[in-house]
Chain A
Amino acid sequence: MTLDEAPLLLMLVGLAAYAVLGGADFGAAFWQLAAHGERGVALREHAYRAMGPVWEANHVWLVFVLVVCWTAYPQAFASIFSTLTIPLFVAALGIILRGTAYAVHAGTAREIERRAVDAVFSISSILTPFALGTAVGAIASGRVPVGNARGDLVTSWLNPSSIAVGILAVATGAYVAAAYLAGDAARAGLDDEAAAFRTRALGAGVVTGAIAFTALAVVAADGDRVGERLLEWPALAAVMASAVAGLATLEFVRRSRFEAARYGASAAVAAVVIGWALAQQPELLPGLTVEQAAAGRSTLVATVVGVVLGAVVVVPSLAVLFRLVLRGRFDPKAAAGEHPAPQRRSRRGRVPLARFAAGAAALGLPLMLIFDRGPFLAIGVLALLTFVALASVALAAAAAANGRSDEDGPESPSG
C-alpha cells in the first residue's frame, strides 16, 4: 500500500462501519414502518430504544468518510458531489428529517403524534439509504466524470446500476437491523419482540440475498469496468465471502443465536463494500486514479496521523459505549438505585474561588488590551477565561444555594 492509498483504506473502514451500523439504524426504521397494531407499537418502541444510545455515533461514520475524502481526494469529492447533486441533496434532507423525527419522538404523547413522527422517521430512513445507494451505483458504473457538475444530473443516478444498489442498501439495512433487534430484544427479555424480529430477519435474509444477486447481475451488465471486475478475482472473493456470511447469518438467526448473527450480518455487509473497492481500483472516477486524485504528501501524512491519533481516543470510547449497550446496561430493566448516594464533602479547606477569579481578571484584562499577539496576549486570554469559569462556579453555586432563604423566593426570609 502506498501513502496515496492509505486514506482510501481509512475511508473504506468508515464506509463499511457506516453501511453496517448506520444501515442497521435505517433498517430499524424500516421495520417501524412495517409494524401495525398494538404489537406494532411494541416493536416500534423497541426499535427506538435499541437505536437511542448509538445512532448518533453511528451517523458520524458518514461524516468521517466525507471529510477524509475531501481532504485526501478533493477532486474526486468535488466531482461526485457536483454531479450527484440530486441524490445527495435528497439524502441530506432525509438525514435532517430523520434526526429531527428522532429528537421529537421522545416527546410524543398522543397516538396521532406518534404516527406522524413515525411516518416521517420511517420514510426518511428509507429515502436516505436509497439515495446514498444510487450515488454509489453512479460511481461504480462510471457515470461521474471528473469536474464541476460535468456528469448528467439525472441519468448519472437514475439508471439500472444506481437503482439496484439503492434497493440493495435499503434491503441490507433491514436485514441487519432485524438480526440486531432480535438480539437486543432477546437480551432485554422481550420474548415476543425477539420472535417477531427473528421471523423478519429470516424473511429479510432470503429477500436480501435475492436482491443482492440481482443487483450483482445488473451492475455487471450495466457498469462497464467495475461491473466486469466484480466477477473477477479478487473482488469475486469478497462477493463470495459476503454470500457465505449472509447464509451463515440466516442459520444463526434460525437457531436464535443472535450474537453470532450480529457479527455474521455485519461481515456480509462489510464484504460488499470491500468487493466494490477491489473492483473499483485503481480508478476512483473514470480517468482519475487514486494516485492522481491524492492530495500532496504533507496533507496525506497529516490526515493519516490525525486519524490514528483520533482513533486512540475514539476506538476505546466506542468500545465502552457498545459494551454498555450490548450488555444491556441501558435497557429499561437495568435502572436501579444500587449505587451509593453522594457523600457531602466538608466545606473546610475550600479554595477562595472568588479571590482567584478577581486576580485572574486583574491579570487578564490589561494584557488583552495592551498586546495584539504573542505569549502575553495568550496569558491574558487564558486569565480572562479562567476568570469567567471560576467566577461562574463561585457565584452560581452561591446564588443557587441560598434560594431557600431569599426574599424573592416563595418562602419567607429567615436569615
Chain B
Amino acid sequence: MMSLPLLAAAPFAPVDQDYLYEARQMQALSFAVHIPIVCFGIAFPAFVLFLEGLWLRSGDPIYRTVAKRWSKVMLALFAVGVVTGTILSFELGLLWPNFMATFGEVFGLGFTLEAFSFFTEAIFIAIYVYGWDRLSPRAHFLSGVPVVVAGFTGSLTVISVNAWMNNPSGFTLEGGRVSDVRPLAALFGNDFLWHEVIHMYVAAFIVAGFLTAAVYAFAWLRGRRGRYERVALVVPLTVAALAAPVQIVVGDWAARSVARDQPTKLAALEGLYETESGAPVHLGGWYDGDEVRYGLPLPRLLSLLAFHDPSARVEGLHEVPADERPPVNVVRFAFQTMVGIGFLLAGISAVYLFVWLRRRRLPRSRWFYRGVVAAGPLSVVALISGWVTTEVGRQPWVVHGQMRTEEAVTGASGIPIGYVSLVLVYAGLLAAVVWILRRLAQAPVEVESGPRGVAPLLAGAARREGEAER
C-alpha cells in the first residue's frame, strides 16, 4: 500500500497557482458563512428543548409556543447549515487537493465520524420538528436530545481536524508521503483539541444566545413587552450571559496552549518581534515589521497572560525565518477585536446577572437593551475574528510546520470565476435567510394550549402558586 516509489508522489508535487490568495479567500468566505449557522445548530436545539422542558414541567403553554416557533427557525437554519457545510467538504478537494492527497488518511477519520453526528442531527431534527402534535410529549422531548448531543460530537470531531492542523502529530512525513499513521492519536490525543472545542462550543451558546436575545431586545425597545417576548428574551440572554464570562477563562487556557505549542502565533497576536522576558501587550496600534507603533503598552502583560508569570520569556517573531511568519497585523487586529468584544459581552452579562441577582427583575435602562441588540452582531464579529486569529495565525502553513498553504493548492485554473460565483450565491443565500427569518417572525403568535387544552388550567395554578411563594 505504501510501497509506491517516491516518484509516485510527483502527481501531487506543488504547483504554480496565480490565485492562491483568492483560493484562501474562497475557503475563508465559506467558513465565515457556515460557522455562525453552526452556532445555531449547536445551541438552538438546547434552547428549544429547555423551553419544551419548562412546558412539560409547568404546563404553561407560552413555553410550548416559543419552542414550537423556534423549532421552525431551527429547521430552516439547519437546512442552510447542511448545504454550507457540504460546500466546505467539496472545497477541501476542489481547492487543496495536495493537502487532501497527502494528509487525508491522517485526519480523515475525524470527518468520517462527523458524518454520523450529521446523520443523527438530520434524522432527529426532522423527527422533532415534524413530530409536534404527532408524538407523545415525552417522546417528542426525547427525540430532541440526540440533536443536542450530536451538536457537541459533531463540533468535537470537526475541530479535532483543525486542532491537528495547528498542532500536527500521529504520522511520519518522508518525501511527501505519510507513513506510520496513528489517526486516533493524531485527532484525539492532541493537546489543542480540547481548548479549541470548548472555546467554540461556549462561543456557539454566546453567539446564538446574544443574536436571539438581540431580536427580542429590539422588540422590547419598540414596546413589545409581552410574556412571549419576555420568555424569548430571557432564556437565550441568560445562557449567553453565563457563558460570556466563562469564555474569558477558556480563552486564557487557549492562549496558554498557543504560547506553549505555537509560539510564532502568540508572537503574531501581540506583534512581538524580539524574544523578551516580561513582554508587554500593546492595545491598538500597528505592527510595522519589527515593533508595534502607536499602541498603548501594558508592561509584562503578555508574559503574565501567556505563562501566568509576569517575567516569563516569550519568543518573538524573529525566532523563525521571515517566510514562516503569519501576516501579523491581520492576526493581531483579529485577536484584539475578539478579546475586546469578549470583554464587552462579559460586561453586558455582568449588568444583567447583577440586576437579576440583586433585584429579581430585568434591567430597566433602555441602554441595557440597546447593548443587547448590539451584542448580537458583535458576538458574530468576535466569532469570525477568533477563527481568523487561529487560521491566519497558522499561516503560511496549512499543516503547521509540515506543509505550506501554497504547496497544498490546486493546479486548476479559474479560481477567480469560482470565487465570484460563490460570492454571488452566498449573497443570495444571506438575503434568503434574512427574508425567511423575517417571514417566520411575522407570523402572528398564537399561544396554543397544547394537546387537549388542559395545560392553561395548570398554568394558572402554577402562576398563583409562584406568586404565593414570593
Mark A residues whose CB is within 8 Å of B.
Answer: 4, 52-54, 56-57, 59-60, 62-64, 66-68, 70-72, 74-75, 77-83, 85-86, 88-89, 91-93, 95-104, 106-107, 109, 145-150, 153, 291-292, 294-299, 302-303, 306-307, 310-311, 313-314, 317-318, 320-321, 324, 329-330, 334-345, 347, 365, 368-369, 372-373, 377-378, 381, 384-385, 387-388, 391-393, 395-410, 414-415
Q: Which residue of A lies closest to B252 (CB)?
A: A369
> Which residue in A59, A296, A324 is a CB contact (below 8 Å) of B2?
A296
Say whether B116 contacts A314, CB under 8 Å: yes
A interface footprint on B99-128 (CB within 8 Å = 1, 0 otherwise): 011111110110111111011101111110
- For this complex, 8 residue pairs linking A to B, each with C-beta atoms less than 8 Å apart, are A56-B78, A71-B108, A89-B90, A96-B425, A295-B108, A298-B181, A344-B57, A396-B234
A interface footprint on B16-59 (CB within 8 Å = 1, 0 otherwise): 00000000000000000000000000000000001000111111
Q: Which residue of B lies closest to A404 (CB)?
A: B463
Say whether B202 contacts A388, CB under 8 Å: yes
Q: Which B residues between 263 and 287 are near A, CB-CB below 8 angstroms?
A: none
Q: Does B428 contact A (CB under 8 A)?
A: yes
> Which residue in B54, B202, B242 is a CB contact (below 8 Å) of A400?
B54
Say whether B455 contacts A341, CB under 8 Å: yes
> Which residue in B106, B122, B253 is a CB contact (below 8 Å) of A377?
B253
Q: How many residues of B contact A (CB 8 A)?
A: 141
11 more A-B contacts (CB under 8 A) besides A79-B101, A101-B432, A324-B127? Answer: A96-B87, A147-B10, A310-B112, A311-B116, A339-B452, A341-B454, A343-B59, A372-B257, A388-B243, A392-B238, A405-B470
Q: Which residue of B lies closest to A52 (CB)?
A: B130
Grouping DSSP codes into helix (H, G, I), strand (E, B) and loop, the A interface class, with mixed when no group exceeds half, is helix
Q: Which residue of A lies closest to B132 (CB)?
A: A335
Q: Which residue of A lies closest to B198 (CB)?
A: A381
Complex interface: chain A residues within 8 A of B90 (CB) = 66, 81, 88-89, 91-92
> In the bound complex, how far is the Cα of B180 from the Cα of A307, in angstroms?
22
Say whether A339 contacts B104, CB under 8 Å: no
> In the bound complex, how far is the Cα of B381 from the Cα of A21, in angstroms?
38
Write the nearest CB–CB distance from B256 to chain A, whole angstroms. Answer: 5
A interface footprint on B349-363 (CB within 8 Å = 1, 0 otherwise): 000010010001110
Q: Does B230 contact A (CB under 8 A)?
A: yes
Complex interface: chain B residues within 8 A of A146 (CB) = 11
Complex interface: chain B residues within 8 A of A67 (CB) = 89, 108, 111-112, 114-115
Complex interface: chain B residues within 8 A of A384 (CB) = 246, 249-250
Q: Does B446 contact A (CB under 8 A)?
A: no
> In the bound complex, how far is the Cα of B426 from the Cα of A275, in angstroms?
38
Contacts A149-B411, A344-B462, A372-B257 given; does A317 touch B119 at CB 8 Å: yes
Interface centre among B105, B360, B466, by most chain A C-beta atoms within 10 angstroms, is: B105
Say whether A109 contacts B89, CB under 8 Å: no
Say whether A74 contacts B112, CB under 8 Å: no
> Which residue in B89, B127, B429, B433 is a CB contact (below 8 Å) of A63?
B89
Contacts A93-B422, A381-B198 given; does A339 touch B435 at CB 8 Å: no
Contacts A77-B100, A306-B113 given; does A400 touch B440 at CB 8 Å: no
Say whether B100 contacts A317, CB under 8 Å: no
Q: How many A-B residue pairs have CB under 8 A?
A: 407
> In the bound complex, how far is the Cα of B422 from the Cα of A218, in angstroms?
34
Q: Does B319 contact A (CB under 8 A)?
A: no
Say whether B412 contacts A78, CB under 8 Å: no
Say whether B80 contacts A100, CB under 8 Å: yes
Say whether B100 contacts A81, CB under 8 Å: yes
Complex interface: chain B residues within 8 A of A109 (CB) = 439
> In the bound complex, how far is the Cα of B194 from the Cα of A342, in angstroms?
39
Say whether B412 contacts A107, CB under 8 Å: no
Complex interface: chain B residues within 8 A of A372 (CB) = 253, 256-257, 260
> Which residue in B119, B136, B428, B432 is a CB contact (below 8 Å) of A310?
B119
Write the nearest CB–CB distance from B138 to chain A, whole angstroms. Answer: 8
> In the bound complex, how far is the Cα of B2 from the Cα of A4, in angstroms?
12
Write the nearest CB–CB distance from A293 to chain B, whole angstroms. Answer: 9
Say whether A342 contacts B439, CB under 8 Å: no
Interface centre among B85, B86, B131, B470, by most chain A C-beta atoms within 10 angstroms, is: B86
> In the bound complex, how far is the Cα of B108 from the Cα of A334, in angstroms?
42
> In the bound complex, how far is the Cα of B75 from the Cα of A329, in angstroms?
18
Q: Does B184 contact A (CB under 8 A)?
A: yes
Say whether A399 contacts B94, CB under 8 Å: no
Say whether B92 contacts A103, CB under 8 Å: no
> Which residue in B93, B124, B179, B249 is a CB contact (below 8 Å) of A369?
B249
> In the bound complex, how far is the Cα of B104 from the Cα of A409, in angstroms?
56
Write the nearest CB–CB distance from B174 to chain A, whole angstroms. Answer: 13
Say whether A335 contacts B134, CB under 8 Å: yes
Say whether A368 contacts B94, CB under 8 Å: no
Say whether B101 contacts A74, CB under 8 Å: yes
> In the bound complex, how far is the Cα of B202 from the Cα of A295, in angstroms?
35
> In the bound complex, how far is the Cα of B116 from the Cα of A314, in angstroms?
7
Say whether B436 contacts A72, CB under 8 Å: no
> Which residue in A314, A335, A385, A407 is a CB contact (below 8 Å) of B119?
A314
Contacts A85-B412, A415-B470 given; does A399 touch B112 at CB 8 Å: no
Complex interface: chain A residues within 8 A of B410 (CB) = 82, 85, 148-149
Complex interface: chain B residues within 8 A of A334 (CB) = 134
Q: Which B residues between 196 and 222 are near A, CB-CB below 8 angstroms?
A: 198, 202, 205
Contacts A299-B183, A317-B120, A400-B63 given; does A81 touch B86 at CB 8 Å: no
> In the bound complex, how far is the Cα of B411 from the Cα of A83, in angstroms?
9
> In the bound complex, how far is the Cα of B90 from the Cα of A406, in angstroms?
51
> In the bound complex, how far is the Cα of B361 from the Cα of A62, in angstroms?
50
Write the nearest CB–CB distance from B144 to chain A, whole angstroms. Answer: 13
Contacts A341-B451, A409-B227 given; does A57 touch B119 at CB 8 Å: yes
Contacts A340-B451, A342-B455 given; does A100 touch B12 at CB 8 Å: no
Q: Does B379 contact A (CB under 8 A)?
A: no
Q: Which residue of A lies closest to B13 (CB)?
A: A148
The 10 closest A-B pairs by CB, nearest first: A71-B108, A81-B93, A74-B104, A147-B11, A99-B83, A295-B105, A310-B116, A107-B439, A78-B101, A78-B97
Complex interface: chain B residues within 8 A of A93 (CB) = 421-422, 425
Say whether A310 contacts B452, CB under 8 Å: no
Say whether B89 contacts A153, CB under 8 Å: no
Say whether B425 contacts A97, CB under 8 Å: yes
Say whether B108 contacts A148, CB under 8 Å: no
Interface centre among A53, A88, A340, A399, by most chain B C-beta atoms within 10 angstroms, is: A399
> Which residue in A96, A329, A340 is a CB contact (below 8 Å) of B429?
A96
> In the bound complex, how far is the Cα of B303 from the Cα of A269, in angstroms?
63
Q: Does B322 contact A (CB under 8 A)?
A: no
Say whether A70 contacts B111, CB under 8 Å: yes
> In the bound complex, how far is the Cα of B183 from the Cα of A302, in angstroms?
7
> In the bound complex, how far is the Cα of B230 from the Cα of A398, in angstroms?
12
Say whether B119 contacts A60, CB under 8 Å: yes
> In the bound complex, how far is the Cα of B108 from the Cα of A210, in angstroms?
40
Write the nearest CB–CB distance from A52 to chain B, whole angstroms. Answer: 7
Complex interface: chain B residues within 8 A of A153 (CB) = 412-414
> In the bound complex, how far is the Cα of B292 from the Cα of A267, in angstroms?
67
Contacts A295-B105, A297-B1 given; does A103 touch B59 at CB 8 Å: no
Q: Which B residues between 162 and 182 are near A, CB-CB below 8 angstroms?
A: 178-182
Say whether A150 contacts B11, CB under 8 Å: yes
> In the bound complex, how far is the Cα of B421 from the Cα of A336, in angstroms?
46
Say whether B86 contacts A63, CB under 8 Å: yes
> In the bound complex, how far is the Cα of B102 from the Cα of A300, in angstroms?
15
Q: Which B residues between 324 and 373 are near A, CB-CB below 8 angstroms?
A: 353, 356, 360-362, 364
Say whether B242 contacts A395, CB under 8 Å: yes
Contacts A72-B105, A85-B412, A317-B120 given; does A410 touch B226 at CB 8 Å: yes
Say whether B104 contacts A314, CB under 8 Å: no
Interface centre among B94, B180, B198, B257, by most chain A C-beta atoms within 10 angstroms, is: B94
Say whether A59 contacts B108, CB under 8 Å: no
Say whether B123 contacts A318, CB under 8 Å: yes
Q: Does B308 contact A (CB under 8 A)?
A: yes
